[in-house]
Amino acid sequence: MSEASPRFRSGDRPARGGFTLIEILVAVGVFVLLGAMLVGILSGAMRLWDSGEVRRDTYERAQVVFEQVTRDLANVYADPDPALPQKQTSVGAAGLPPEAYLAEADPALAFHSQPEESGSSWLACTVVEGQALGGVYFRIDPADDTGTLLRGVWEPNTPSAKLVRVEGTKEIPLRPAVPEALITSPRELASALKRSKFLEGTSSKLAAGILHFGLRFWTPTTTTWEASVRPRRNPRPGESCGSETRWDSSTRFDRQFYAFDTRARDSDPVTAMVPSLVRLEIVVEPESRRRRGTKIPDDLDTAQKEIRVDSTRDFPEPPNWFKIDDEWFHYTSRTSTSFTVDQRGARGSAPQRHKANARVRYGETFVTVVQIPCAKAR
């Protein structure tokens, strides 16, 4: 019987049972590369998600403002003939009894708006909802630098503007619970909107982060919304005529108003009371910018056009706007730490001095034009 053959012959190498160091390093490198790519994809997806959420929040706040302002302007009430006797009104959805009636509204309190130093406007008007006659106003809270837009209520406290209900032969006035809400004249209305007690007692928060609430009004002579075109009282044929930035339904108290004339009420009362179109422009600050932001490292005077900041990251591409304190700037170019500005005091604001470390803010701009039905109907 022959001897068993040896398992290995002389010179043979044993079979391989693992990976070499080079193979392991290559595999690790591939996994690291794939991991880095996956992290990059996930990071990009998260940034896209965050950006979408910020944009959604910004658009939702703008929509809240537009819907509320549009709803109130649709209910603006202006009576061209306050001498008429009281009118019986139909029952609406307000739930008031059929015997309730609405008296004539005082034309002097029908519709008022004024721009402020920051370029934002306040708006106050008399409205009817169902059978309820009262006033509403909008303005940015001057005591809150985050840009809180307020919507408040007031009552035109005049003998010719009241809502009553009838019990037998007795008239019972319906009055607000807040005495500060009673307004008797346009001047008192403008003054009340500057008082913190009036604002606190009559308003509620409509939206946050509203950097600008700008209004323009279409007059009988207006031909364009362009802000660079001035309004004119008596334009020549073919001459461009801009819109108004103010409105005074009394036509007696605001000398800057295009229809300022003590005789306007007699000659054309409807036109003087309510504009046919209102252009609303709002700027909504993204929530992420409200939590973090950039600042100016140095003091600014009223003439500087090169504005140094900590960082211009996330700011919109030029041309665009930013805001410091109550002043708007229009910039045409930027670097990583500065803006080149071609307009100080933009959007109706005024050039100001600014202290170092003041915040630089920007937002998304939204514009809508609202038609006032009562002006259209008349």
Q: Write the single-letter amino acid at 196.
A: S
Report CA-CA distances (Å) from 266 to 85, 218, 269, 273, 317: 18, 21, 6, 12, 51
Instruction: Write the pLDDT tens digit of every residue in 306-350.
Output: 999 999 988 989 999 999 999 999 999 999 999 999 999 999 899
Q: Buried (b) or exposed (e) across 185-195, using 16+ Cβ within 10 A?
A: bbeebbebbee
Instruction: State residue 55's pLDDT score.
Output: 87
Q: Buried (b) or exposed (e) across 33-70, using 16+ Cβ within 10 A?
A: eeeeeeeeeeeeeeeeeeeeeeeeebeebbeebbebbe
Count the residues in the chain: 378
CA distance linking residue 116 with residue 363, whole number of Å? 19
Rounded-to-10 torsion of CA 334, 53, 213, 201: -140
CA distance linking residue 185 with residue 7, whole number of Å? 115
Of the candidates 143, 125, 121, 282, the residue with the CA atom closest to the CA atom of residue 199: 143
Give me the residue label for tokens 């259209």: 376
Which pLDDT band holds residue 371 (cuts at 50, 70, 90)? very high
Instruction: Write the pLDDT tens digit of every residue in 73-108.
Output: 999 887 655 443 333 333 333 333 333 333 344 556
Higher pLDDT, 204 or 110: 204
Which pLDDT band holds residue 13 (cuts at 50, 70, 90)? low
Strands, E assignment, 5-110:
101-102
Using the Cα atoms of residue 198, residue 203, residue 208 and residue 211 in order, give the sign of their dihedral. Answer: negative
Instruction: State residue 91's pLDDT score.
Output: 30
Which pLDDT band holds residue 264 (cuts at 50, 70, 90)? low
The pTM of this model reads: 0.77
Instruction: State residue 86's pLDDT score.
Output: 38
CA distance linking residue 126 with residue 16, whole number of Å? 93
Give me the residue label for tokens 């809180």: 148
What is the three-class DSSP state of 299?
Answer: coil
Greatest mean pLDDT among 44-53, 153-162, 227-236, 347-356: 347-356
